[in-house]
Amino acid sequence: MARPILKWAGGKRQLLDAIYDRFPRGYDRYHEPFLGGGALFFDLTPEGGTVNDTNPRLVNFYRQVRDRPDGLVARLESFDDPEADPVPDEPFAETDRKGKAIENYYYQKRAQFNRRPAGEAFDPLEEAALLCYLNRTGYNGLYRENRSGRFNVPIGRYANPDWVRREAIHAASRVLADTEVRNEDFEYVLDAAEPGDLVYFDPPYEPMSPTASFTDYSASGFGRDDQDRLLDTAAALDERGVHVVLSNSGVLAERYERRGFDVALVGATRAINSDADNRDEVDELVATNVPPGKRAER
């Protein structure tokens, strides 16, 4: 078993038992089209299969973890405390791209991390290290992009932040060794999954209320049309004999039940939210096409 390296909104550690209880007793390859922080994937440690995310910087991070763990750790070890002064001979030592003064080392590294969305040349290993560093030292572990795709989370306040993550990176590298890491729309799984395989979907959730939004974590967002496509994809996989397990917001329970999925509602607390007073328990659904008599015994 490995542990997630990054803090990530919507992590599934609280729901692992409910998800595993709906797994089939046996399956062939494993596919996870919305990897995110990978709580289930790293706990499960499957051999082979595919994982995917639409965030290209997150996908690059996992590819570097898989292929260059030693180099990634070495790069992380070279970084300084987020409150330290900017490094004079590195880019953005005084101002960012908009001319705003760089206050400390964190904001210098944040500006360097945003080379890709700014259309500038970037080093994939450096970008991966910066993602991990900013994730572990930024405010509340948030990953958030503006409409231009630029990471804009402010500095966090931590006594002793661990941004190197040496053991977690090496453990995750071993788990990812034989896994294909993709950067596509989730519908790729219609071609990748075969009868007898298992697909676990953990999409950005449908908002719990008209004013709630989960699309700020990525410039691309995930709207109602995407939720409809996801339900159609899950149903198509079911018809082909692919095992499907899916988690989502509880407000979609009836829609999945109408398509023939077995649905359970499970209470979970939002661990990452920019509003500390809004981390209440919410209903999440866990849906599956695996009949009760064919599920794994745990």
Mean pLDDT for 265-284 is 63
What does the DSSP assignment read for 211-266?
A: T---GGGSSS---HHHHHHHHHHHHHHHHTT-EEEEEEEGGGHHHHHHTT-EEEEE
Helix, strand, coil proportions of the chain in percent (round to 5)? 40, 15, 45
Task: Specify the pLDDT at position 293.
Answer: 95
Predicted confidence band of residue 9 (pLDDT cuts 50, 70, 90): confident
H runs (alpha helix) in the chain: 16-20, 39-44, 56-67, 69-77, 105-113, 124-137, 166-176, 189-192, 224-239, 253-258
CA distance 131 to 142: 11
- 260's torsion region: left (phi>0), alpha (psi -120 to 50) or beta? left
Determine the Cα angle at 288 with ends 267 and 8, to 5°: 50
**CA 146 to CA 216: how far, in whole Å?**
7
> What's the Rg (C-alpha) of the chain?
20
Burial 248-275 (b: 16+ CB within 10 A, else e): bbbbbbebbeeeebebeebebebebeee
Condensed to tens digits (0 to 9), the pLDDT of residues 122-146 reads: 999 999 999 999 999 999 999 999 9
Q: pLDDT tens-digit profile of 163-204?
A: 999 999 999 999 999 999 999 999 999 999 999 999 999 999
Confidence of residue 216 (pLDDT cuts 50, 70, 90): very low
Contact 198, 188 (CB under 8 A): no
Q: Which of 137, 205, 130, 128 is nearest to 172 (CA)?
A: 128
> Can you list the domains of the chain with their CATH numbers?
13-54+184-294 (3.40.50.150), 63-165 (1.10.1020.10)
Strand 198-201 with 180-182, pairing: unpaired
Judged on CB neighbours under 10 Å (0-12, 13-18, 19+), 26 is: exposed
Q: CA-to-CA distance for 157 and 282, rounded, in angstroms?
A: 27
Cβ neighbours around 20 below 10 Å, total: 16
pTM: 0.90
Q: What confidence tier does 298 reach under pLDDT thresholds 50, 70, 90?
A: low
Give the max Cα distance, the chain: 64
Strands (E), 139-191: 180-182
Q: List the beta bridge partners of residue 287.
A: 246, 263
**144, 217 Cβ separation under 8 angstroms:** yes
Residue 52, CB-side half-sphere exposure with 13 Å CA sphere? 24
Q: Is the pLDDT of residue 214 over 50?
A: no
Q: What is the mean pLDDT of the chain?
A: 91
